[in-house]
Amino acid sequence: MLTTTSLNAVLNPGLPWIEIGIRILAAVIVGSIIGIEREYKNRPAGMRTHILVCLGAAIVALLECLILESSSAFATKGNVSFTLTRLSAQVISGIGFLGAGTIFIAQKKIAGLTTAASLWNVACLGLMIGFGYYWIALLCSVLVLAILTFFQKIIHVNSVKRVEVQFINRTETLDYINNYFHAQNIKILDVDFHVDVFRTSKNMDKNSYMNLYTLHLPSQVSYTDIVKYLTDNENIQTVRTRNT
């Protein structure tokens, strides 16, 4: 049961509500800015992961400020030295082991980073609840849920993609590929190439070429569109996507 004192602490946490909101919003904005840049470059930790980590750190820092505000009066009475956050610090560091268990690597691709970040956020929110700041924890949990569910749909980042194309008849096929990229407004950021030389029975060279394109795709073009179109050409032998 909430006493009058504890209820007052919940409704009046020690910092102005507008200041609490500004700090939380600033954490989301900063995490978004850095996360969008990482997602654009197709790195494992994208926008949502960066937002969640920045938000979790802000929650812990905010909790420290609230505890300091509420305990300052007690700290001035007598020569008493105490800490209220030692156990909390162990929770924050210890939850990292659980988060690491949700991260795995499959086919050279890292997955589970967002789940690990959300797990760490839940630990931070649990601390907030444990110290009695229910409304702040509730508002932050709604924000975390919105980040996990809606942010990637609302803020769409056209990330950099890498496509490997293996082909023969170099001049003819390169014109076909370049014309398609130009028509679809696909920007070629970089090209890495490799040539295999084959000797035929007539002692003539028949080369096989492999180009690794680093591309920036417009919103209306997908991986599937590229693979489907390029494989229609009889000179193109293989089209595959690459993460590294």
pLDDT in tens, 233-242: 888 888 887 7
Q: pLDDT band at 6, cuts 50/70/90?
A: very low
Place of tokens 């690597």: 105
Would you say 88 and 127 are in contact if contact means Cβ atoms under 8 Å apart?
yes
- Domain borders along the chain are 4-154, 160-242
Structure tokens belonging to residue 97: 């082991």
Of 172 and 42, which is predicted with more confidence? 172
- Does residue 40 have a pLDDT over 70? yes
Q: How far is CA 32 from CA 18, 26, 36, 39, in A?
A: 21, 10, 6, 10
10 Å Cβ neighbour count for 205? Answer: 8
- Under the banding of pLDDT at 50, 70 and 90, the label for residue 19 is confident
| 8 A C-beta contact, residue 157 and residue 40 | yes
In sign, the C-alpha dihedral spanning 205, 206, 212, 213 is positive
pLDDT tens digits, one per residue of 164-178: 899 888 888 899 999
Amino acid found at 239: V
Lowest mean pLDDT among 19-23, 79-83, 116-120: 79-83
Dihedral over Cα of 127, 128, 132, 137: its sign: negative
pLDDT at 107 over 60: no
Burial (CB count within 10 angstroms: exposed 0-12, middle 13-18, buried 19+), residue 43: middle
Mean pLDDT for the chain?
76
What is the predicted pLDDT for the residue at 13?
A: 57
- Size of the chain, expressed as the number of residues it contains: 244
Q: Which residue has the tokens 């996360």?
A: 35
Terminal-residue alpha carbon distance, the chain: 56
Phi, psi (degrees; rounded to nearest 5) at 131: -85, 0
Residue 2 has pLDDT above 50, yes or no: no
Listed residue (13, 2, 237, 3) closest to 135, CA to CA: 13
- Over the stretch 120-143, which tens digit does the pLDDT of each residue have? 888 888 888 777 788 888 888 888
Among the residue ranges 135-139, 188-192, 195-199, the one predicted with the least confidence is: 195-199
Q: Which of 17-21, 129-133, 155-159 has the highest mean pLDDT?
A: 17-21
Closest CA to 46 of 58, 33, 56, 29: 33
DSSP state of 83: -
Band of residue 81 on the pLDDT scale cut at 50, 70, 90: low
Domain 160-242 has CATH 2.102.10.10: no
What pLDDT shows up at residue 187? 86
